[in-house]
Amino acid sequence: MLTLLKENGPLRVLSTARVVSVVGDALSLVTLMLHVQSVAGKAIAVAALLLVGDFAPSLLSPVTGLISDRFDRRTVMIACEVAQCALLAVIAFTLPPLPVLLVLVGVRAMIGQIFIPASRAAVPSLVAEKDLPQANTVLGFGSNSADVVGPLLAAGLLQFMSTRGVLLVDAVSFGVSALLLLRLPKLIVPAEPGGSVFADVKEGLGAIWHARALRIVFLGFCGVVACTAIDDVAIIQLSKETFHASDSAAGVLLASVGIGLLAGFALLARGATRIGMVALLVTGFVVSSAGNLLTGFAWGVAAAFAVQTVRGLGIAAMDVAHSTLIQRLAPADRVGRVFGNFYGGIGVAAAIGYVGGGLLLDAVGPELTFVLTGGAGVLVALWVVAASRARGVEWESAS
């Protein structure tokens, strides 16, 4: 991984820019959650903030992915970072009432939803095909490390800065990211879509649905997410109600998946190119789902921590494998739309998992919830194995 970064300047620029902006993104999320809680004093207000930031943009994913297939992807990414910088500055200077704040956060999240497919679709233009797994490992490790650092940085800055000041720091981070991205070469789309927006959106959806290999990856990933999305809520109930542990112990359990995730990326940095991506994807599905299943049988905090850490290894495998498979399997002029639709589907799957898992959690408790949802995820993984071996599934590169 380090060798690839050292030798490939454009990939180094893209990964550095992602780390800077993701740190800022996590920084603003924590800061705004605390701000909304202190001003509104209601959990539903914080939930609304999370909803507009995570779920709402996924509904527009067919269009947000299209943008990176119509225009130079470097220009798209720079424009997104500049726009997010401006929106964060507006929020910081005005600290508007909740309804206006939700609108601004939703617009910023939608712009971020445009950036992600563009950044993923740009990778095949920056590295050789054989280096795609390592390049995706680099981006995954950097982004997830930034997700860990952001909340810690927010906690530190809020000790001596106001909410407005921390949000301005976040705005600056997006500006720095935009400046870094200016160093990328132009990333012109190989063949620009020439039809109407509706026709190109339909073509992007069809790129997943009519290609059996991409459809298997999409349905399998969304199925596992729908089955396991409730784990963060369930782990808190497990630690507090079943283990009768302290708040700090619950926090450690929540961090365990992140620790495993970073360890997984570090391991894949050494051997990702030697592993088949379909096998890696299925392994990730099984490990991440079985990790939840076994957490239901954990006898204490230490056992749950160990199992959830291992589960993080599986999530890292899922991240690298699905990105590489999409970059290889999707036609070059539709990669942005495939990524956009993919992440939109994941957002919807996560929302289904939150609702269904929450109802299940209230009905049967955390232990049985982990067993049932984890077991369902394993069944999804087994379906992926069976479907990937069926006749007519083409796993060769579209290029």
Mean pLDDT taken over the chain: 83
Query: Tell me, what's the pLDDT at 275?
Result: 72
Question: Could you read off the pLDDT of 384-398 as tens digits, one per residue?
Answer: 999 888 766 776 655
Asked if residue 20 has pLDDT above 80, the reply is yes
Question: Could you read off the pLDDT of 60-69 as tens digits, one per residue?
Answer: 777 887 888 8
Q: Are 63 and 117 in contact (CB under 8 A)?
A: no
Comparing 142-151, 168-177, 292-301, the range with the smallest average pLDDT is 142-151
Question: Could you read off the pLDDT of 186-213 as tens digits, one per residue?
Answer: 877 655 555 666 777 777 777 788 888 8
Q: CA-CA-CA-CA torsion for 310, 314, 317, 321, nearest 10 degrees?
A: 180
**Range of 8-12, 23-27, 291-295 with top mean pLDDT:** 291-295
Query: Tell me, what's the pLDDT at 179?
Result: 94
pLDDT band at 317 (very low <50, low <70, confident <90, very high): very high
Query: Tell me, what's the pLDDT at 42?
Result: 65
Asked if residue 229 has pLDDT above 90, the reply is no
Question: Could you read off the pLDDT of 21-68 as tens digits, one per residue?
Answer: 888 887 888 788 778 877 776 656 766 777 777 777 777 777 887 888
Query: Tell me, what's the pLDDT at 130?
Result: 83
Query: Tell me, what's the pLDDT at 194?
Result: 58
The better pLDDT of the pair 348, 195 is held by 348
Query: Tell me, what's the pLDDT at 281?
Result: 93
The better pLDDT of the pair 76, 196 is held by 76
pLDDT band at 294 (very low <50, low <70, confident <90, very high): very high
Question: Could you read off the pLDDT of 352-365 as tens digits, one per residue?
Answer: 887 788 788 888 88
Query: Tell me, what's the pLDDT at 156?
Result: 80
